[in-house]
Amino acid sequence: MIKNFGLDGKAAVVTGAASGLSQAIAIGFASAGADLVIADINVEGLHDTAKSIRALGQRAEVCPCDISDSVAVQKLFERLDEVFGHIDILLNGPFAFNREKPEALTLEDWNDAIGVCLTGFFLCAQQAGRRMIEQGAGGSIISIGSIAGASALGRGNFVYSVAKAGVHQLTRELAVEWAGHGIRVNALLPAQMRSPSVKKWLEDPATAPDLVAHLLKGIPLNRLGEPEDIVGPAIFLASDAAAFVTGTLLPVDGGNLALNAGGSHTW
């Protein structure tokens, strides 16, 4: 049974792989035996990720890509075709976080966030899905959602939360639409993780102590997540061990979504 958790011989595309959660997952996929095409707009970060993947003895093809651009996404998957000739796994990871109150949000910022966080996920899933259908061997599509798409966070998270809720429904719909092709579609729902972007947010000495304490009130495991915390769940969903798992929104949140808004894990 343990062999089912391996990814030996599988080809994966990981977007957003230059840093944070997607970078950790890309390296995790490689540690489980996968070869990868990695994409991001941060080229320097991509090469860092590729170096880590190659150090594990796996192949890594670097492909700069803005996933909100349909032409760029098409070129990304054409590169996949050239390098590997097939796809077994897609991990949708990038995000655009335009933090603003709804009444002040510009249409440009709305479109930017939706373009990366939702439209880009659709474009990549569509390209991967077409290839998986043609191959006839199924596959696994995983998107990084968020607890923000499951319940409202406030604090200016408006468009990000709306986009992530869209990712969750995209996941369910594609899981149903493509089930007949053996394509499994799932999403991971992290809580606050110590990714590079969150670390910058938490390093403000004026707000960090109070902010961390506030966030921990909603996390029963009483700590923020680390990028490594999402790697195991991602490998599971990508692997044959999850062969009967599709349409699932898997929280990786330290118990956040299990906690009632009026509840407490300290008493």
pLDDT, one tens digit per residue, over 58-75 is: 999 999 999 999 999 999
Confidence band, pLDDT 50/70/90 cuts, at residue 251: very high
Tell me which residue has tokens 């997607």: 22
Residues designated catalytic: 160
Question: 212 pLDDT exceeds 90?
Answer: no
Tokens of 240: 């044959």
Instruction: Please give the pLDDT value at position 206.
Output: 65
pLDDT, one tens digit per residue, over 156-210 is: 889 999 999 999 999 999 999 999 999 999 999 999 898 877 777 777 776 666 7
Instruction: Please give the pLDDT value at position 208.
Output: 63
User: Residue 214: which residues within 8 A CB-CB, separation 6 or more?
Assistant: none
Backbone angles phi, psi at 38, to 5 degrees: -115, 140
81 CB neighbour count, 10 Å cutoff: 13
Rounded to whole angstroms, the Cα distance separating 231 from 118 reads: 22
Rounded to whole angstroms, the Cα distance separating 143 from 73 reads: 16
Tokens of 146: 């968020």
Instruction: Please give the pLDDT value at position 190.
Output: 97
Instruction: Please give the pLDDT value at position 207.
Output: 63
Question: 244 pLDDT exceeds 80?
Answer: yes
pLDDT, one tens digit per residue, over 18-44 is: 999 999 999 999 999 999 999 999 999
133 CB neighbour count, 10 Å cutoff: 16
Assess contact for 87 and 128: CB atoms under 8 A.
Answer: yes
Dihedral of CA 96/200/237/75: which sign? positive
